[in-house]
Amino acid sequence: MEPLAVLMMAVFTVGYLVLAGADLGVGMVLPWLGRDQRERRLVIASFAPFFLGNEVWLVSAAGIAAGAFPGLEHRLLEGLYPLFVVLLVGWVVRDMGLWLRGRVDGVRWRGGCDGAVVAGSWLVALAWASVFGSVLFGGVGLNAGSVVGLPLAGLFVLHGAAFAGLRLTGAPAGRAGRFPGQYPATAAVLVAVPVVAGLRLPWSEMAAPGMGLSVTAVVAVVMLPLLVGAQALVWWTFRGRVRAPSYL
Amino acid sequence: MDPLMLARVQFGLTAGTHFLFVALTLGLATLVALVQTRAAVTGGAVHERMTRFWGQLYVINYAVGIVTGLVMEFQFGLNWGGMTKVTGGVFGAPLAMETIVAFFVESTFLGLWIFGWDRLNRWVHLALIWVVTLTAYLSAYFVLVANGWLQRPVGYEMRDGVARLTDLGALLTNPPAVLAFFHVLFGGLLTAGLFMAGVSGYHLLRRTAEVEFFRRSMRIGLLTLILSVFPAVAFGGMQFQYTQPTKSGSASRMASMVADFTARFGPDEYRAPALAAVGEALMMTAWTLMLVLALVALVKFPFGRWLERGRVFHVVVMLAVPLPYVAMLSGWVFREVGRQPWMVFGVLKTRDALSEVGAGRITASFVAFAVLFGVLFVVNAWLLVRFARRGPEGARLGGAPPVEASSALTPTF
């Protein structure tokens, strides 16, 4: 059962990084892609219908960690405590910027929310880069890799720009096109990084004793087709390029 | 302050903020789904507008529930590493199921419901809100399974100082989890019912143009209150037989359990803190006031005109909106503070559940999240009031007309 649980951990982590990595990246380059507030709203519309469905991959990955690998929670969250606090703060700031942006009709309000989206996206991306650096470097807790890994945040920028290029039209799409990298390529790197990092972790030592691991793994395997189906429905519904602002 | 207290207060604040918003989310999702069903079946314009208006308030409210929930999930690993280490093998399983079986689907379909307005077939769109509602309940159930295990650990064995899950069925049918789920379900309906009635009371009192809209909403809100007030207390009362003897019940049972704990775990204050009893009293007071209001509502309910005009009643209903919130939060204080000094009752003490990360880190994260959630609470409460006062014309949910892919070639600025 343990390899199956590790596989599910990988699927949900990779799912998060590839899908949410794109909307994080768009958030990071929001000021460059959209030159005024109307353009920025359009840029946000490129991922607006997806971001709720994207971040749940991480929520589920954390859930699988809690159920199947409590040691991983212990090792990463407790060991890399400051990084995960930054990640969570960034996540909350970013999400609230997205949710609140359209709630009040005011230039300064929208400007503040755009700022929250950009700052939050950078915080989350830098925190992930540092987490991957720390794990790839092989130590427990903060280490040299926590700093060396920071440039990995650039991956999210490229991935986001590639995604925006596929989703947008007109001037913002043109600006997105100036970033190097194609979506499949940046996605492949975002798959490779966590897989390599995961190979460095001692999974057996972190596994839940008793049947907790099996229950979690089986539930994840059984649910996965349904979850992918639900997400596919979202992707299909919003498959067209963005030409008008959305609810956010 | 000592790190243990900071970590406890941080969790209390996070869970408290989370629950303030989640309570309304649970109930309001149900009412929005029912109204949308009516709109889909009859094609009535007023129900369509009601769906958008109450749906808008539901979505504003939902956003805070999500972000505080995220922080809660990670806080177990961040601040309560000792719990993860000793009992993570049991406690983690319901959390995993919550994320995979419930929240993943709920969040994905909520996005589709919000952004897919006017793009999807009316029945598909209706099905989405029902899936969102049912998965929200499923989510609450799994979270309460995790919480119920802290109150009354079952289905596990300790081996080498670590808890192992041995009986999934016992974990999932633990009475403090199942009964608490129904207690919370009806508590959420009470919250949403009074919220809907209170907002309607404001508009009827102000004699805004939307008389029919808010008379109907008032009736839905009051009916929800009337139907939920007794089940809420019944499912609460049924839990007392499973309540820890150190919290309430006979003095002799308490004394024998304290003696047992002292023998096994050394001397400690095993009786529940006095704050727990304060929570219990406050919860029951709030419930009694809601019961009185429900009885008045029952008398007035059949008379639509009376609901439109009773100005004193409008004010009373508006003032009653906080009651379910008071009952909920004090109920949680009763439940959680009353469990102390245990994290997992009779298994792991709270002080042994704390992460070994040092006071500095715990303090820094406490300050960061306290400030962040303070701001979120104020901003979102303000927005809820603002959109509620603005009325149906101000609802933007589903307001943007869909743009056909074929029509425009450039972005419509």
Write the residue in B67, B96, B159 that is nearest to A68 by C-beta: B96
- Average pLDDT of chain B? 88
Q: Is A236 a residue whose pLDDT tops 80?
A: yes
Q: Is B406 a residue whose pLDDT tops 70?
A: no
> Which has the higher per-residue pLDDT, B245 or B348?
B348
Query: Given pLDDT bands bounded at 50, 70 and 90, which one contains residue B23?
Result: very high
B34 lies within 8 A of chain A by CB = no
> Which has the higher per-residue pLDDT, A8 or A139?
A8
CB atoms inside a 10 Å sphere around CB B364: 14
Q: Is A74 a residue whose pLDDT tops 50?
A: yes
pLDDT of res. B403: 44
Q: Is A220 a residue whose pLDDT tops 80?
A: yes
Q: Is A248 a residue whose pLDDT tops 90?
A: no
Mean pLDDT, range A138-144, rounded to an integer: 79
Task: Tell me how far apart the alpha carbons of residues A21 and A7 are, in angstroms, rounded to a whole number.
Answer: 20
In DSSP terms, which residues pair with B348 in a beta bridge?
Answer: B344
Closest CA to B50 of B26, B31, B25, B22: B31
Q: Are B179 and B240 in contact (CB under 8 A)?
A: no
Q: Are A134 and A78 in contact (CB under 8 A)?
A: no
DSSP code, position A238? T
Place of tokens 């941080």: B10
Burial B151-166 (b: 16+ CB within 10 A, else e): bbbbbbeeeeebbbbb
Mean pLDDT, range B16-33, rounded to an integer: 93
pLDDT digits (tens, 9 = 90+) for B357-399: 888 888 888 899 899 999 989 999 999 999 999 888 877 777 6
Portion of chain B with pLDDT greater than 70, in percent: 96
> Which chain A residue has the Cα nearest residue B88?
A70
State whether B112 and A234 contact (CB < 8 Å): yes
Rounded to 5°, the CA angle B64-B67-B73 comes to: 130
Q: Which residues contact A63 (CB under 8 A, 6 or more apart)?
A: A216, B73, B95, B96, B97, B98, B99, B100, B103
Closest-CA distance, A90 to chain B, in angstroms, reads: 11
A77 lies within 8 A of chain B by CB = yes
Q: Tell me the longest C-alpha to C-alpha distance in chain B.
A: 79
pLDDT of res. A57: 94
Query: Given pLDDT bands bounded at 50, 70 and 90, which one contains residue B144?
Result: very high
- Give which of A78, A228, A234 to mutate to test B binding, by max B Cβ within 10 Å: A78
Residue A246, SS3? coil
- Average pLDDT of chain A? 90
Omega before A209 within 30 of 0, i.e. cis: no
Portion of chain A with pLDDT greater than 70, in percent: 100
And the tokens for A224? Answer: 């996965």
pLDDT of res. B410: 35
Query: Given pLDDT bands bounded at 50, 70 and 90, which one contains residue B407?
Result: very low
Interface of B with A in 66-105 (CB under 8 A): 66-67, 70-71, 73-74, 76-78, 81, 84-85, 88-93, 95-101, 103-105
State whether A169 and B410 contact (CB < 8 Å): yes
Q: Which residues contact B341 (CB under 8 A, 6 or more apart)?
A: B268, B269, B270, B349, B350, B351
pLDDT of res. A13: 94
Write the residue in B104, B365, B411 that is nearest to A169 by C-beta: B411
Mean pLDDT, range A60-80, rounded to an integer: 89
DSSP state string for A120-175: HHHHHHHHHHHHHHHHHHT-SSS-HHHHHTGGGHHHHHHHHHHHHHHH--HHHHHH
pLDDT of res. A140: 77
Report CA-CA distances (Å) from B95 to B67, B85, B260, B349, B397. 16, 15, 31, 21, 31
Task: Tell me how far apart the alpha carbons of residues A37 and A203 are, in angstroms, rounded to a whole number.
Answer: 47
Place of tokens 């009653």: B320
State whether A81 and B166 contact (CB < 8 Å): no
Report CA-CA distances (Å) from B212 to A7, B130, B218, B308, B391. 56, 26, 10, 9, 13
Mean pLDDT, range B322-339, rounded to an integer: 92
State whether A78 and B81 contact (CB < 8 Å): yes
Q: Are A29 and A145 in contact (CB under 8 A)?
A: no
- B200-205, long-range: CB < 8 A, 24+ apart: B200/B317, B201/B313, B201/B314, B201/B315, B201/B317, B201/B318, B202/B314, B202/B318, B202/B388, B202/B389, B203/B391, B204/B307, B204/B308, B204/B309, B204/B314, B205/B311, B205/B314, B205/B315, B205/B318
And the tokens for A213? Answer: 């691991």
Q: Is B404 a residue whose pLDDT tops 60?
A: no
Q: Is B311 a residue whose pLDDT tops 90?
A: no
pLDDT digits (tens, 9 = 90+) for A98-137: 999 888 888 999 999 999 999 999 999 999 999 999 988 8
Residue B327 has, within 13 A of its CA and on its CB side, a CA count of: 28
State whether A227 and B105 contact (CB < 8 Å): yes
State whether B111 and A92 contact (CB < 8 Å): no
Interface ipTM above 0.85: yes
pLDDT of res. B400: 54
Dihedral sign for Cα atoms in the order A195, A201, A205, A207: negative
pLDDT digits (tens, 9 = 90+) for A155-192: 999 999 999 999 988 888 889 889 998 999 999 999 99
And the tokens for B203? Answer: 């508009």
Place of tokens 């802290």: B150
pLDDT of res. B399: 61
pLDDT of res. B56: 92
Domain boundaries, chain B: 3-394
pLDDT of res. B232: 92
Mean pLDDT, range A223-240, rounded to an integer: 90
pLDDT digits (tens, 9 = 90+) for B254-309: 888 888 888 888 888 888 888 888 998 999 999 999 999 999 888 888 877 778 88
Interface of A with B in 84-113 (CB under 8 A): 84-85, 88-89, 91-93, 95-96, 99-100, 102-104
Report CA-CA distances (Å) from B63 to B16, B294, B383. 15, 30, 12
pLDDT of res. A246: 80
